[in-house]
Amino acid sequence: MLIVMRMGATDEQVRGVLARLKEFDLDGHLSPGKERVVIGAVGVIGDPDIRHQMGRMSGVEEVIAISRPYKLTGREFQKEETIIDVGGVRIGGGTMVVMAGPCSIESEEHMVTTAKAVAASGAQILRGGAFKPRTSPYAFRGLGEEGLQHLATAREETGLPVITEVMEARDVDLVARYADILQIGTRNMQNFMLLDEVGLARKPVMLKRGLSATIDEWLLAAEYIMAKGNRDVILCERGIRTFETATRNTLDLSAIPVVKRLSHLPIVSDPAHGTGHWYLVEPMARASMAVGADGLMVEVHPNPDHALSDGPQSLTLENFDSLMKSLERVGEAVGHPLAAQPQMAAVGD
Q: If we measure between CA atoms, which residue out of 300, 267, 213, 259 comes closest to residue 94?
A: 267
Report if residue 103 touches Mn ion, rule: CB under 5 A: yes
CB of 297 to Mn ion, least distance (A): 9
Task: Tell me how far, at minimum, the Cβ of 137 lies from ligand PEP, in Å.
Answer: 15
Which residue's CB is nearer to Mn ion, number 252 or number 299? 299
From residue 296, how far is each of 17, 60, 281 by CA, in Å? 40, 41, 10
Give the nearer residue to Mn ion in terms of CB position, either 186 or 263.
Answer: 186
Residue 73 interface partner, choices ligand PEP, Mn ion, none, CB cut-off 5-8 Å depending on type: none
Element (H, E) at 61: strand 60-64
Cβ contacts of residue 288 below 8 Å, gap of 6+?
Answer: 251, 253, 256, 269, 271, 296
Q: Which does 155 bind (CB under 5 to 8 A by kind): ligand PEP, Mn ion, none?
A: none
Region 202-231 residues binding ligand PEP, contact defined as CB under 6 A? 208
SS3 91: strand
Closest separation between CB of residue 223 and ligand PEP, Å? 20
Query: Which does residue 238 bind out of ligand PEP, Mn ion, none, counting CB within 5 to 8 angstroms by kind?
Result: ligand PEP
Q: Are 226 and 233 in contact (CB under 8 A)?
A: yes
Q: Residue 182: what are its φ and ψ, rounded to 5°? A: -90, 130
Regarding 144 and contact with ligand PEP (CB under 6 A), the answer is no
Q: What is the CA radius of gyration of the chain?
A: 21
Q: What is the nearest approach in angstroms of ligand PEP to the Cβ of residue 129?
A: 5
Query: Which is nearer to ligand PEP, 129 or 342 (by Cβ)?
Result: 129
237 binds Mn ion (CB under 5 A): no
Of 113, 112, 144, residue with least CA distance to 129:
144
Using alpha carbons, select from 213, 182, 177 the residue that is nearest to residue 196: 182
What is d(CA 161, CA 91) in angstroms, rounded to the nearest whole number? 12
Round to whole Å and give the CA distance between 96 and 133: 27
Among 129, 199, 276, 342, indicate the residue that binds ligand PEP (CB under 6 A): 129
238 sits near ligand PEP (criterion: CB under 6 A): yes
Q: Which of 194, 199, 101 is nearest to 150 (CA)?
A: 101
The SS3 call for residue 255 is helix
3-state secondary structure 100-139: EECCECCCHHHHHHHHHHHHHHCCCEEECECCCCCCCCCC
Residue 204 near residue 232 (C-beta atoms within 8 A): yes
Residue 184 near residue 194 (C-beta atoms within 8 A): yes
Q: Which of 88, 133, 302, 337 binds ligand PEP (CB under 6 A)?
A: 133
Q: Does 165 bind Mn ion (CB under 5 A)?
A: no
Nearer to ligand PEP, 39 or 207 (CB): 207
Give the separation between CA 44 and CA 71, rounded to whole angstroms. Answer: 12
x-or-dash string of contact with ligand PEP, 272-311, rule CB under 6 A? -x--------------------------------------
Binds 102, which of Mn ion, ligand PEP, none (CB < 5 to 8 A, cut-off by type)? none
By CB under 6 A, tell whether 186 contacts ligand PEP. yes
Q: Does the protein bind ligand PEP through residue 265 (CB under 6 A)?
A: no
As measured in angstroms, the least distance from the Cβ of 336 to ligand PEP is 23
- In whole angstroms, how close is the CB of 132 to ligand PEP at the nearest point? 7
Q: Which residue is nearest to ligand PEP (CB)?
A: 185
In the complex with ligand PEP, the residue whose CB is nearer, 14 or 99, is 99
For the bound state, the minimum distance from the C-beta of residue 273 to ligand PEP, rounded and expressed in Å, comes to: 4
Which of 310, 324, 331, 341 is close enough to bind Mn ion by CB under 5 A? 310
Residues that bind Mn ion (CB under 5 A): 103, 310
Residues that bind ligand PEP (CB under 6 A): 103, 129, 133, 165, 185-186, 208, 238, 273
